[in-house]
Structure 1
């Protein structure tokens, strides 16, 4: 019994000592530590205006209204193509074809009540059958009206039994970086999907060839969104969702849309002419970088530097010169070539554009009438252009196109020079077909198979007719 009481006494004494030590040393130190933490100053951005400390986005922006306005105008596009797969033993044994039907899906945007729909060229490319499903689940067969591979825009049409809801075009030139936008489409066959984001950049070129001018946004876009709508908070169409950059093939934070001004112009040209009519300035040069500025002794790193003005072009007639720096087209600032390209892609031949250039330190404005492109680059030859009557008369021929510049390819250049071919000579036929314009040349080259022999007939400065064959 005494032994048990002794154990209890020792336990109670040990507990009292432990509790006392905790109160005196540990708890006191914790109070000091917490007190010190509270006394640490906080840093906030300084502003003389009253702000919302939580930095909540503008709650007056109505995503719901824009989504409701757009979602019924975006359709699900199903493209059935036929591909040639690898021949299997069963195909050979049973005499079957190796061709297989493949189905691809994308999106489209209704732009008129009578069923015209804008989408991407890559959504409808190679189609054997094309169907469109509306947001109300009605399905229609669609036909292709036309397409433009360069801008990746296509126009299709359905014959509906009623007027369809449609989206109106907005002005993509007026869209601002940081502005809220919605992407509406059918990613992964999830119909009527709406995502939100902001415009991250404009005039974005993904190819590195300065032939694109995308709107970049962080609204989530995935496979199946292609051809869908990018709209502002008013529900106006400011872009056609087209591409993403990703190592996985899915969205990782950036997506890209063809600006609505370009898409609208392509659609109008397809409906009126059957193809795209581009208006050109008639200048060549490049975006001004630090290296460019050093090379030409410039005191600016923004704008488009004109190295050469094409003879008889709109720029030439208006008075633009080599050495001028294009700073603005109308009210659009030109900082790089994709800015210039994006603006011109929305214009047509005979449009008049006010061009602001920097010349000898002063800004000057020239009214330039855009012209239809009359030049074509053929890698084997160089740059060719439509010949004038005086050119044809000089070479005593009734048809042909003129060599404006020989190729930069050293092998081909040496070949032409060694054979006495020079700038000004007239090409009269390609692959035994007479040519009267660069359009004729473009058609012949487009229909030519890669491995076909290329036969060029021309008249040189001596009036001699020559024929050259290339593989």
Structure 2
């Protein structure tokens, strides 16, 4: 972590002494760990002891190989100076939540699910009451973290910490408290900007360049896990560009500095004390920290917060398409050398893409001069393009490249209407025709099949009754899929499917591209031929 390794020749006496010192430090570290984790040893002695032996062995091996490497960025001896510098600008964010049922509700950002009457349940109940003693019995408290970004009193936090709340209260590390108003929020990136109601001189921190942070670099998270204000944890940047399926603009930093419920909205710093991420989520089977946390990169956050400060909301560009990823099978079926780009699954009538003659089945490989490597790239690039801007779109269609010119529109409000649920399947399986090359049993659409699989009236195609030889590592057909086109040719019977496959050149490519409707959504599947 933070080290650059290269091999050298025979170890020098100085390197040998360094190795000995490193071993001594390792042994001392082990002793310290055994003392601080005493309670954990009592509860799980075998597993923890074996883990320690593994860690100790690894550390000794590292100390031994110290003679053949050089260290370019050693671990800081202490983070105390950095913590002392930034903690004053990190705040606790509290907002009151009104319960529609008349009972107090507590934010999901706090784990108030201890057994009723247990010591922990009582402790957190008392803590909540101390934080907001004026709340009524029908109100709950949302607790999170935040940080001040300029002397004027602007505070960054997570949208989900304040979205459902009112009476927002900010508490600094020196115990000063201020009321805050919501300047703006962006649900799609889970960011919110607050303004403190004060003329006092306030501490603040600045954003750094998240693009300069490298995997393995040291980071420090500060926040209020479980309401424990001013908590500092240290780790490294574990990975970049994580997609956790929280929205179309996912591009998270993954860190192993411990963050828990209550850290949401708090900052992650680099070793220079600059904010390089806004903590927003954790991956955990239990709800507690397991060393996998996610932060919004500072370079993305800066753009969103600037828009919130200026307009109170974020305006994004809109292309008017639904897209999906390009699997290796889809790429092969369409004659692409590599599985990259974004496949157009739907085109909104009257939208910018429709006006530019972008069609369902096109693969978008570039937009406004930027390469679209995968399906995640396009939404971010389009969103950052101002409405009214003319942009060239690079497409792959019918085995060749072409360019379309599109005028980007303003993104409309997201559709909050829930999609209709698919009706339950019947118990009796209708007869169908097997397609060995597809590894599936197919049938012509009937009223009974429409009811069984929830297929809308007016949609034509061939229903998949069962799918054989399904490889979970690949795109494949599923029961209930409605196959509408085979390599661009419309089909309505199993016989037409076979005929379309024979004349499409799929045999030479080894894969066929199917346009299907799955759970009401048009999508594409590349199927390797049996």
User: If the length of structure 2 is used for normalisation, what is the TM-score?
Assistant: 0.52
Question: How far off its partner does 1:188 sit?
Answer: 2.1
The CA deviation string for residues 131-171 of structure 1, in whole angstroms up to 9 with x for no partner, is: 11112221111122222222221111112232322222334
The answer as to 2:313 corresponding to 1:275 is yes
Residue from 52, 56, 69 that aligns with 1:51: 69
The answer as to 2:251 corresponding to 1:213 is yes
The CA deviation string for residues 408-466 of structure 1, in whole angstroms up to 9 with x for no partner, is: 9996953899xxxxxxxxxxxxxxxxxxxxxxxxxxxxxxxxxxxxxxxxxxxxxxxxx
Q: 1:296 — aligned with what?
A: 334
Following the alignment from structure 1 to structure 2, what is the Cα–Cα distance between the partners of residues 177 and 105? 30
Q: Is the 8 A contact 1:262 1:346 kept in 2?
A: no
Cα pair distance change 1:60/1:273, threshold 3 Å: same
Following the alignment from structure 1 to structure 2, what is the Cα–Cα distance between the partners of residues 175 and 316? 40
Moved more, 210-219 or 366-375: 366-375
Moved more, 286-295 or 215-224: 286-295
Q: Is the 8 A contact 2:367 2:391 kept in 1?
A: no
Residue from 274, 279, 287 that aligns with 1:241: 279
Q: Is the 8 A contact 2:367 2:393 kept in 1?
A: yes
1:314-329 correspondence to structure 2 within 5 Å: 323-326=362-365
Cα pair distance change 1:244/1:298, threshold 3 Å: same
List alignment gaps of at least 5 residues for structure 1: 1-41, 88-97, 383-407, 418-471
Q: Is the 8 A contact 1:329 1:340 kept in 2?
A: no
Q: Is the 8 A contact 2:240 2:253 kept in 1?
A: yes
1:171-250 correspondence to structure 2 within 5 Å: 171-207=209-245, 210=248, 212-250=250-288
Q: 1:100 — aligned with what?
A: 138
Following the alignment from structure 1 to structure 2, what is the Cα–Cα distance between the partners of residues 135 and 378? 39
Following the alignment from structure 1 to structure 2, what is the Cα–Cα distance between the partners of residues 69 and 362? 57
Q: 2:182 — aligned with what?
A: 144
Say which SS state the counterpart of residue 58 (structure 1) adopts: coil
Cα pair distance change 1:352/1:153, threshold 3 Å: farther
Following the alignment from structure 2 to structure 1, what is the Cα–Cα distance between the partners of residues 403 and 274? 32
RMSD of the TM alignment (CA)? 4.5
Q: 1:414 — aligned with what?
A: 457
Say which SS state the counterpart of residue 457 (structure 2) adopts: helix
Following the alignment from structure 1 to structure 2, what is the Cα–Cα distance between the partners of residues 129 and 372? 32
The CA deviation string for residues 390-419 of structure 1, in whole angstroms up to 9 with x for no partner, is: xxxxxxxxxxxxxxxxxx9996953899xx
Say which SS state the counterpart of residue 376 (structure 2) adopts: helix
Following the alignment from structure 2 to structure 1, what is the Cα–Cα distance between the partners of residues 102 and 297? 37
Cα pair distance change 1:153/1:326, threshold 3 Å: same
The answer as to 2:152 corresponding to 1:114 is yes
Q: 1:445 — aligned with what?
A: none
Question: How far off its partner does 1:193 sit?
Answer: 1.9
Following the alignment from structure 2 to structure 1, what is the Cα–Cα distance between the partners of residues 74 and 305? 35
Cα pair distance change 1:43/1:107, threshold 3 Å: closer
Q: Is the 8 A contact 2:334 2:398 kept in 1?
A: no
Following the alignment from structure 1 to structure 2, what is the Cα–Cα distance between the partners of residues 381 and 252? 34
Cα pair distance change 1:198/1:381, threshold 3 Å: closer
User: If the length of structure 1 is used for normalisation, what is the TM-score?
Assistant: 0.58
The CA deviation string for residues 164-213 of structure 1, in whole angstroms up to 9 with x for no partner, is: 22222334345443333221111122222222222223332223765533
Following the alignment from structure 1 to structure 2, what is the Cα–Cα distance between the partners of residues 171 and 354? 29
Q: Is the 8 A contact 1:61 1:233 kept in 2?
A: no
Q: 1:81 — aligned with what?
A: 97
Q: Is the 8 A contact 1:113 1:166 kept in 2?
A: yes
Following the alignment from structure 1 to structure 2, what is the Cα–Cα distance between the partners of residues 348 and 120? 25
Bigger radius of gyration among the two: 1
The answer as to 2:88 corresponding to 1:72 is yes
Q: Is the 8 A contact 2:219 2:237 kept in 1?
A: yes
Q: 2:161 — aligned with what?
A: 123
1:306-455 correspondence to structure 2 within 5 Å: 306=344, 323-326=362-365, 334-345=372-383, 348-349=386-387, 370-373=408-411, 413-414=456-457
Cα pair distance change 1:128/1:63, threshold 3 Å: same
Following the alignment from structure 2 to structure 1, what is the Cα–Cα distance between the partners of residues 416 and 260? 36
Cα pair distance change 1:345/1:69, threshold 3 Å: farther
1:14-25 correspondence to structure 2 within 5 Å: none
Question: How far off its partner does 1:123 sit?
Answer: 1.0
Following the alignment from structure 1 to structure 2, what is the Cα–Cα distance between the partners of residues 365 and 59? 50
List alignment gaps of at least 5 residues for structure 2: 1-59, 105-135, 421-449, 461-530
Q: Is the 8 A contact 1:202 1:213 kept in 2?
A: yes
Q: Is the 8 A contact 2:278 2:296 kept in 1?
A: yes
Say which SS state the counterpart of residue 300 (structure 2) adopts: helix
Question: How far off its partner does 1:69 sit?
Answer: 4.0
Residue from 281, 302, 307 that aligns with 1:264: 302
